[in-house]
Structure 1
Amino acid sequence: MDKESPFSVGDVIKNRYELVKRISQGKFKETFYAVDPQIRQIALKIEKQYEEEQTGVCIEAAILKILAGSKHFPKFYEYGSHKNYKFLALELLGPNLIELVNYKKPYRFSLHSVLKFGIQAIEILHRLHSKGIVHRDVNSENFAVGNEPNTSGTFYLTDFSMCKKLNEVGGKITKPTTRGKFRGSLMYASLNSHKFIELGRHDDLISLFYILVEFFNGTLPWSGVTDVEEIKSVKEYYQGIKLLKSLPKQFLEIEQYISTLDYQTDPNYQFITSLLNQAAQENNINLNQPFEFEEEINEERKKIMVRHAKYNNKVKKIISDIDQEINKIRIQKNKDLNDRIEELEQEKQDQIDQLRDPQQLKVQVNVINILHKLKKKYQQQYIEEVEQGQNENQFQMMKIGSSKRFLKPNSRSLLFSPTSQSSGSIKQMNRFGSLSPTSFNQANSSGSFEIRQQSQSNGLQIARARSQSYKGSERAMSPINKQEKVYSPLSQTNDITQFPSNLGMDRQFSPIQIDESPDSQIPRVNTVQQFRNILGSLVDSQQDEDSTIKITHYTSISISFFCTFSYNINF
């Protein structure tokens, strides 16, 4: 998105979506929190439409339509055009994993939360893979809980910009013969990605495995390392017991099983889930219990709802008293008191305006707002603890007096102040793929890198860079930090396939509009059916035996880089 965004809070997109708050902003795309005519809270992604280029929101819309009806994926509402921009309206989700782990100390998950999340995440990847799609960017920021009271303990997978269809030949999964490129984030990318091997379902699983280890230990051995080759070497060294010595033995079995898988092998998701359940049983963990953060969110929600009810009841009592006073005056039929009645009527209207409607309550009790409220509460608590500790230390030093011994404050009681950090030189590229002279480590001759800077949320801002050493037997006390750099591939010329002339470009698609209200007059258009209709004539004319549409995808990024890659959708 341009530096001077043409959109601001209060704007209405397509005479339908009012922008309430900007969530994130990149160079070519930004995301807003918005509401529709049904006062439904949504996330709205807006991306600049460039001539002859496919937008990222179009690809994401197509994937969400393929995944429609699945429990752990955001609902798709509408895709369309507004001026020279494409937009995608989808379900507004709650906080992601990074925000959930960092709202209070000890900045890590309990074994209960790790196992409970792991079981949900395995189910999510199973559903995605069952559609023949590999995510290729499984990381902690792409898992988020729902934003409603009944979904605060349900995780969703997001961001499908790097997804790719599994390679099928004659209905069978076949290992690609072409050399792959680096995909995903450095923190969680599998060794196959470092080795430029085409990623499959097992690579998504190993990325998830790294997340589980990090969120239990509070760090990974390569946390804070910026050199690509060094990260690869550390990942190769820290395997097995070296990585997992503080985790239940079932994690070693999971890692060993994943290491036996290859591109063609269909993973046994049930086996992995059974090992996580076994770890819970051996550690006397009841996985039917809600997440720890979920319990606290639910408790805070109850408090907000009680305060809301008490406030409205108080205002309603005032309104009732005003009505009684007005009735007494009218019974007297004294014209001299007409001015007093007008004053009371105005006072009554003022009180009615003070009543909080259900929509205000709905916004107050969504998970994002509740977690933000809890985080502020704990931050204030930690500050008070530091101040109290400092006062106690001063008192102790006064008592020590002439001994000249000084007591140091407990470093673990200090408040961690998250700040964005970045380090390491990078290889920059412009929107058309040309590289700047700045070197980035040692680019492999068969696979180049680009750094995509993720846009920061207006909510929690946590930095990924960490310098502490990894100790598997000691659970780190510092916050789990946000992945600041995500490496995405620089596609080569032979990796790009232009649109067939009779397929048409994205700008020619009719907007896809979906309204959940039963009396809506908005037409419901099926994206997959659109592709199938277009594909029918394409296959008839070109005799494409595997019925594959190859889409050139120009994805948006948050700093002045631009990358392209081809995305295949099979029907």
Structure 2
Amino acid sequence: MALSIPRRINNYWLEDCLGSGYSGSIFRACHIYTGQRVAIKLQNVDHECPTNRYERAFYPMLQGGEGMPTLWAAGVEGIWDFLVIDLLGPSLDSLFRKSGKNKMDLRSVCSIAIQLISRLQIMHTRGVLHRDIQLGNCAIGLSANNKTIYMIDFGFSKQYIDPHTRRHIPDSKAKRDFLGNYWFTSVGVHCKGKVPSRRDDLEAAALMLIHLLTPGGLSWTRNGVPKTDAQHDRIKRDKLTARPEDLCRGIPAEFEEFLRYCRRLKFADCPDYDHWKDEFKELANEHGFSDIDDFVWPPPPPKVKSQITALHQPKPGPAPYNNAPNMEEVLNGLAKLNLKERPVLGDQTNTLVALRKEYGALQKPVKTAVIEISSDSDDSADHPTNIPPPPNRFSKATQLHNLAASAHKATDNRTLSMIVTDFVACLQSTRSRMLTKEGFQFLDTLYKQLADPSVFAVPLRTSRTRSTNQDVFQPPARHVKLGALITLRREVTTAPNNRALAKMVADFGTVTNKSSGRTITKDGIAFLEGLAERLKALN
């Protein structure tokens, strides 16, 4: 028998129902005396899953945090347990479904990523885990707050800081019942029954972001909510066996790196929230998105495209000439033209002279030979440096090939340092950050130079032979994870010798090869810049 919902709860008149589910319903309501519009969550006090009672304990801990709803009142009236909270707008799930698209645009996803990580940072700082990250539990605000994403529904939340000892809760291998959602709960919690911690909230956020960018969503979300144990087991199996590089194929590499980072965290580790917010901000900036801290829906049209459209709009032409001659008269007139020898309208013999005056070139005639990128000759008379070379004369592949050849001939660390600096400049000269086969060829050459000191003209110790197995460095396995970039970036500044730098170059190549799209991130660029500086210091 359905329970009758009262017309009034506490000092609030209930209006229309905004939604209902397994554990209760939520209504729009109005304060009797002030007219304030709020939302009221109603739940039967005898419900087997008293989420209102749980939420009531967490709201005071979260008050005042950006994107955290205000709790205006709470209590029990008759058989109803009620919570009075801020009235918010639609959830991200509702917005996404109504858009009718099979994936969300990159600007919106980057904005969601930044705000979601910020919300989790607030919750975790106050000792609370959410444990139910999903699109339906993220809602946008109303009026002046319509660009802010709010976290809602703390019925599954938990304190990970013991209120008595003020220490992190202990890990446990005891069997646990599953608590969370089927789609985005972390692999450790959902498939392996592990105790949830901060890392699992972030992994759920990473899966949700990847889901939004994947056409049709993550594969295990496409068959709906499982109704049998067999269907649930299939979801867990699909989630457990899905590799990050497969999940993130075709989307920016930052999302794969974020997922791998979350899965690499230990149970009690504190995530680097600010680092990943900066990563997604930089990703948005690289794609020309501004004001990325604000969630704007519907997403604004890309500014670059609108500018291109404006540039190519045809200019208004002259008014049509009504008395124009017909085509036959025009053709007859052309046939009668006397095309004898005519004077040249433009004398181009002075072009080279003008160029020499403009750039202060030498008085030698300009040759059309191919310009060399590097030369062993110190004679600068035949290669004036004050005339800028024509742009884009060499392709990126050719430049990388030349750099690999130069690295093979290098005889000291200072030369290698300059070559690595040129390598970084070449990578940054184009918008594409993918490391091509020529780039890997350069890394292979650099690794061989650093791993084998005898290739230098003056080895540090010529008396030592290289016949012993322990002197030969073995490249690391291919399973080195993307998060190693941060470690490489930090440790390259203190590398004791070339052999240690060689190992880092090998790790860097393996990490890049395993990443989605083989792209080089800003941490990779920072590592290469640090490598160049360390080579200079070890010279």
TM-score in terms of structure 1 length: 0.48
**Equivalent residue number for residue 42 of structure 1:** 38
**Equivalent residue number for residue 199 of structure 1:** 196
Counterpart residue identity of residue 40, structure 1: Q
- Which whole-Å CA distance do the structure 1 matches of 2:293 and 2:132 have between them? 30
**Equivalent residue number for residue 75 of structure 2:** 80
- Does the 8 Å contact 1:76/1:90 carry over to 2? yes
Residues 1:164 and 2:158 are matched in the alignment: yes
Residue correspondence of structure 1 range 12-27 to structure 2 within 5 A: 12-14=8-10, 16-26=11-21
Aligned-pair CA distance for 1:249: 1.4
Q: 1:167 to 1:66 in 2, by over 3 A?
A: closer
Percent identity between the two aligned chains: 23
Q: 1:174 to 1:67 in 2, by over 3 A?
A: closer
- Which whole-Å CA distance do the structure 1 matches of 2:293 and 2:117 have between them? 19
Q: 1:206 to 1:4 in 2, by over 3 A?
A: same
Aligned-pair CA distance for 1:44: 0.9
Deviations 1:342-399 (A, max 9, x none): xxxxxxxxxxxxxxxxxxxxxxxxxxxxxxxxxxxxxxxxxxxxxxxxxxxxxxxxxx
Q: 1:25 to 1:182 in 2, by over 3 A?
A: same
- Does the 8 Å contact 1:167/1:176 carry over to 2? no
Q: 1:28 to 1:210 in 2, by over 3 A?
A: closer
Q: Which has the higher strand share?
A: 1
Secondary structure in 2 aligned to 1:74?
A: coil
Secondary structure in 2 aligned to 1:44?
A: strand
**Equivalent residue number for residue 304 of structure 1:** none
Residues 1:106 and 2:106 are matched in the alignment: no
Residue correspondence of structure 1 range 113-128 to structure 2 within 5 A: 113-128=108-123
Residues 1:129 and 2:124 are matched in the alignment: yes
Secondary structure in 2 aligned to 1:99?
A: helix
Q: 1:257 to 1:176 in 2, by over 3 A?
A: same
Residues 1:95 and 2:90 are matched in the alignment: yes
Residues 1:149 and 2:153 are matched in the alignment: no
Aligned-pair CA distance for 1:232: 2.1
Note the aligned Cα RMSD (angstroms): 2.5
Deviation larger for 243-252 or 287-296: 287-296
- Does the 8 Å contact 2:149/2:295 carry over to 1? no
Secondary structure in 2 aligned to 1:229?
A: helix
Residues 1:175 and 2:179 are matched in the alignment: no
- Does the 8 Å contact 2:92/2:138 carry over to 1? yes
Higher relative contact order (CA 8 A, sep 6+): 1
User: Any unmatched runs of 5+ in structure 1?
Assistant: 297-471, 474-571
Match of 1:254 among 255, 258, 265: 258
- Does the 8 Å contact 2:160/2:168 carry over to 1? yes
Residues 1:185 and 2:187 are matched in the alignment: no
Deviations 1:408-433 (A, max 9, x none): xxxxxxxxxxxxxxxxxxxxxxxxxx
Aligned-pair CA distance for 1:214: 1.2
- Which whole-Å CA distance do the structure 1 matches of 2:299 and 2:23 have between them? 38
- Which whole-Å CA distance do the structure 2 matches of 1:113 and 1:126 have between them? 20
Secondary structure in 1 aligned to 2:297?
A: helix
Counterpart residue identity of residue 281, structure 2: N
Counterpart residue identity of residue 235, structure 1: K
Aligned residues: 291
Larger Rg over CA atoms? 2
Secondary structure in 2 aligned to 1:122?
A: helix
Counterpart residue identity of residue 203, structure 1: D
User: Any unmatched runs of 5+ in structure 2?
Assistant: 301-515, 518-539
Deviations 1:312-339 (A, max 9, x none): xxxxxxxxxxxxxxxxxxxxxxxxxxxx
Aligned-pair CA distance for 1:29: 2.5
Counterpart residue identity of residue 155, structure 2: S
**Equivalent residue number for residue 395 of structure 2:** none
Q: 1:287 to 1:107 in 2, by over 3 A?
A: farther
Residue correspondence of structure 1 range 146-545 to structure 2 within 5 A: 146=141, 148-166=142-160, 168=162, 170-177=165-172, 178-193=174-189, 194-218=191-215, 219-225=217-223, 226=226, 227-288=231-292, 291-294=295-298
Counterpart residue identity of residue 269, structure 2: T
